[in-house]
């Protein structure tokens, strides 16, 4: 396994991050435990979750599963860099969501209890809260850091200017601020190249791409359909929308002798701004297969071909749209 610093921090994380969103809804607890054990065996020490995962209001099903896995001992918690999130609705009362100081405090305590741990390595804002001032958000986070309940703070789904505003406010308070940003980023979704990635570089944030396979679109979906797998209605619409690109994409991967999912991950890993794409294996076989991406090296000709198939926004702003 390869490791990288999480942005400007001293924290080392694996170049692949184990996403746990499937644990509970799609992967049973009994099957989730071996996947997490295998991840540690492979050197994957970076696990990502969220208090809303499990999708049963207020229950934090996925966090509970991880907590019971930690509770087995064997150094599981100590070996894991644990990332979870706050923002989503966790109850029917008005303050059971978003980023008020009250909800941050309550949500953190609830996550610690479910995860059966006394600290969270990376506590991420799942979305921007336009109703809560940064003075309030940072005051709540500073207290959690002082108490030792949170070590690092990150964002998710932030715009570039929001990263800048958050970190400038943190700087004024002599607080470290954001250490990472978790963004939608894959070959078919490259808008973050305009301003989010430049902001991450400038402020020293690690970039953690979610949905690296575009929900399966980049995972060889055409070949799977040819072999008899049925696509969901939503996926079928996406396939028809992008069919010409997908045909070229899968043909390129076949010519390389590689699986599309592995090439999609390798493309992200090629970008020095990327710390660790989030993989969401539902089985041990899928987890093991993901490691191939670490071995694939993309040459300039291949990168140019991929840019032609999936054009980005044209680079960083403002040069992407102005002189």
What domains does the chain contain, in order, with CATH numbers? 3-215+260-299 (3.20.20.100)
152: annotated active-site residue: no
pLDDT (tens digit per residue) in 180-215: 999 999 999 999 999 999 999 999 999 999 999 999
Other CB atoms within 10 Å distance of the CB of residue 255: 10
Q: pLDDT-derived band of residue 22, with 50, 70 and 90 as boundaries?
A: very high
pLDDT (tens digit per residue) in 114-127: 999 999 999 999 99
Q: Give the pTM.
A: 0.96
Here the tokens at position 284 are: 């041990």
Here the tokens at position 17 are: 């991050």
**C-alpha separations of 244 from 113, 151, 222, 238, 247 in Å:** 48, 46, 11, 11, 5
Gap between the Cα atoms of 210 and 223, Å rounded = 23
Gap between the Cα atoms of 23 and 66, Å rounded = 9
166, 178 in Cβ contact below 8 A? Answer: yes
Average pLDDT estimate for 247-267: 97
Place of tokens 């072999």: 227
């Amino acid at each position: 396994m390869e490791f990288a610093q999480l942005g400007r921090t001293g924290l080392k994380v694996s170049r692949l991050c184990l996403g746990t969103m499937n644990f509970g809804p799609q992967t049973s607890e009994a099957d989730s435990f071996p996947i997490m054990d295998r991840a540690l065996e492979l050197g994957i020490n970076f696990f990502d979750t969220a208090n809303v995962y499990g999708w049963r209001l207020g229950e934090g099903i996925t966090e509970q599963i991880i907590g019971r896995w930690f509770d087995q001992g064997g150094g599981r918690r100590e070996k894991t860099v644990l990332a979870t999130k706050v923002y989503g609705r966790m109850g029917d009362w008005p303050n059971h969501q978003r980023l008020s100081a009250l909800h941050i405090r309550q949500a953190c305590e609830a996550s610690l209890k479910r995860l059966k741990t006394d600290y969270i390595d990376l506590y991420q804002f799942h979305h921007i809260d336009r109703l809560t001032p940064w003075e309030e958000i940072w005051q709540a986070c500073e207290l959690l850091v002082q108490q030792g309940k949170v070590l690092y703070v990150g964002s998710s789904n932030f715009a570039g200017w929001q990263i800048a505003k958050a970190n400038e406010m943190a700087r004024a308070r002599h607080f470290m601020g954001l250490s990472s940003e978790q963004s939608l980023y894959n070959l078919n979704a490259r808008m973050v190249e305009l301003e989010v990635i430049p902001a991450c570089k400038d402020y020293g944030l690690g970039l953690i791409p979610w949905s690296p396979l575009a929900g399966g679109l980049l995972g060889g979906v055409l070949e799977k359909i040819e072999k008899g797998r049925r696509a969901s209605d939503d996926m079928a619409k996406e396939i028809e929308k992008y069919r010409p690109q997908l045909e070229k994409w899968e043909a390129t991967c076949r010519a390389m002798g590689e699986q599309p999912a592995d090439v999609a991950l390798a493309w992200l890993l090629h970008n020095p701004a990327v710390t660790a794409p989030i993989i969401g294996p539902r089985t041990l076989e899928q987890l093991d297969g993901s490691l191939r991406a670490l071995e694939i090296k993309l040459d300039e000709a291949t990168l140019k071909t991929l840019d032609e198939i999936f054009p980005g926004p044209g680079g960083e702003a403002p040069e992407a749209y102005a002189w």
